[in-house]
Amino acid sequence: MKIAVTSSGQELSSPVDPRFGRAAYIIIV
């Protein structure tokens, strides 16, 4: 299973971005 999480940065340790539509990055875990 793959999960998409919005993020403020490119790393897994970056804070989560609450805006899904305008997020800077989307991390797939």
In the structure encoding, which two tokens stand for residue 2, read together?
Answer: 């793959």
Q: Whole-model pTM?
A: 0.64
**What DSSP string describes 4-25?**
EEEESSSSTTSPBPS-STT-SE
pLDDT digits (tens, 9 = 90+) for 1-29: 999 999 999 999 999 999 998 999 999 99
